[in-house]
Amino acid sequence: MIQHEIQLRPPGPGLHEFTAQVADLVAQSGVDTGLCHVFVRHTSASLLIQENADPSARRDLEEAFRRLAPRGDSWHTHTSEGPDDMPSHIRAALSSTSETIPVARGRLGLGTWQGLYLFEHRDRPGTRRILVTITGT
């Protein structure tokens, strides 16, 4: 088993692809067949596997989440960190904090148009820590 932490500094909200960094870790691991588990260590960001060919898919997904959890709703009480705080937690709850990807022939087993994304929900997120665990033979 190999474990590594990736640190990302997204410039702001949205989908930020980091497939290549995880693929490099898998290649370096020496694992031929197994699993790669990726976990974001934050409550206001999430992980997604999504289309990485057409940018309009990412834009539409980002817009859908903005509409599902808009900023500044009057019922939000958790606002100590700003108007994007509670919507970021809702968006993270609607998505996922982890993804598990098969490792096949020493590579990530993603489909042709799939990429791994940090889905940043805050306006000024700072450094995001992502734990990558690779297991197998």
pTM equals: 0.95
Average pLDDT over residues 3-8: 98
Q: What is the structure's pLDDT at 107?
A: 98
Residue 102, pLDDT above cutoff 90: yes
Tell me the pLDDT band of 18, cut-offs 50, 70 and 90.
Answer: very high
Looking at the DSSP bridge assignments, the partners of residue 45 are: 120
Q: Quote the number of domains for the chain.
A: 1
pLDDT digits (tens, 9 = 90+) for 45-98: 999 999 999 999 999 999 999 999 999 889 999 998 999 999 999 999 999 999
The per-residue pLDDT for 72 is 85
Determine the Cα–Cα distance for residues 17 and 47; give it in Å rounded to an integer.
Answer: 10
133 to each of 2, 4, 7, 59, how far by Cα in Å?
Answer: 6, 7, 14, 29
pLDDT-based confidence at residue 123 (cuts at 50, 70, 90): very high
CATH number, position 28: 2.60.120.460
**Bridge partners of 114?**
51
Q: Residue 1's pLDDT band (boundaries 50, 70, 90)?
A: very high
Domain extent, residue 29, equals: 2-71+78-136
